[in-house]
Chain A
């Protein structure tokens, strides 16, 4: 099967910059913002977003990671997963605006897990969702607040997000 490029490095960079501005705009500034990436690539994206956000409004945005493995509803259907890390910034999440970050939004089940995980950690004021790619086919009533690219797909296709920090290259392909 041949892979088709959907986003190149520059596209990804532009999308993240735009999302950063949208976040600041919807939050009316950087106050109380906590960016939480969902492992693995969501964490990388969250880190990049926080760099951009802190460049726009220096030193105000905190970043962390939120592992959802223990909250998944498909654990019994798959081989045992090694859980990822959860790191919550020192200020916690109570009363904060938490932006969850993931690479691809698909069925919505990962985000459902993330919302459950989040509620065990504290009580944010609001929770937003930012994704690099929304490929549709939702199975739950969940939508993203900030989207890098809407990408209509068929369920037989695979979306691959590669990021330089992990994969050595920035690209999104469809195969």
Chain B
């Protein structure tokens, strides 16, 4: 099967037709195949390179009631993603070659997106000793990102060793920056509002102090550091300072930290409970600035599905986390594109090429280039919708955007040259799996 996309507007503002054959962009369709080719009218749509999420919780193995590789992949595809990095806090933990290979194989089998497992930094996420980083790096899963996300690698010596050790394999440590002692029992951003609501505070300094320590460690040992879900103005300042000093640090911000504030906690509606917590207005504005000026490199969803019962309870008893894959592009659109802080080429960078680069995922360095893998999404920026559970495709319905008006809509997603989303709806799982097996977008049907 070959695909002709007519009249798409590229992130740089130019318009042209795109041709896809055998899973790759080509300059024109070969005559023999043009008869079986599919045409997509992309008038009015923006073609973005396939989105890459460096921070997804797919929950499988172990927490299949929350999400599976299949359901999470479908949520990713409908959100315009073609690759996700799956966090290590599964059960068993992704801390051995066999577990990461299993997750990677599930992803490949389902075919909606490329699934790249993240390896745990420490065995069992216990923060005691390093996991088998080398084995995971050299496994078929080619793990390059290592993270204890959900837990901070807070022991400074262990963090130093991790930073040093992963350099052997070209990897990066993605740190969940949270001082555990400063955030004992923490429920929301610490400030006047947490005091009023009687919810234990999660002070900004608990994040900023770990980032400050880690950038200094990274510089000292000459290692690469990635900071997960930066949530405060002060964190952006620390990273800006580190980058100015030449520290090899990258950072991510979640869509929700670009749009939502702690005020939402007033309702005690646990859909808004997330870690790190939603912060103040001034933090949101500082994070947008930092994303615009490159201090923060990428947007990553921290897609964290939970079963209904984990959220249908009092705030203090509820699980942390929000689903985000399905809404990410629209939220970025609302938070930083509509305000003019980012243009679509910036979006392509922060949601595709840069996260791929940080995760050492090939094929995303030159979008739409002839010969490169055909991963793209067609996005209708003029659409607008009241976001609802009908827009979700994963198992989790813990979205903070339900009932909120969001701009834009993903119309088409193409992963390795085959369709995963067509006319705004997922292509069925069997078709996608078959296309994936055919490899590089071989013919079907």
Whether the complex brings A and B within 8 Å at their CB atoms is answered no
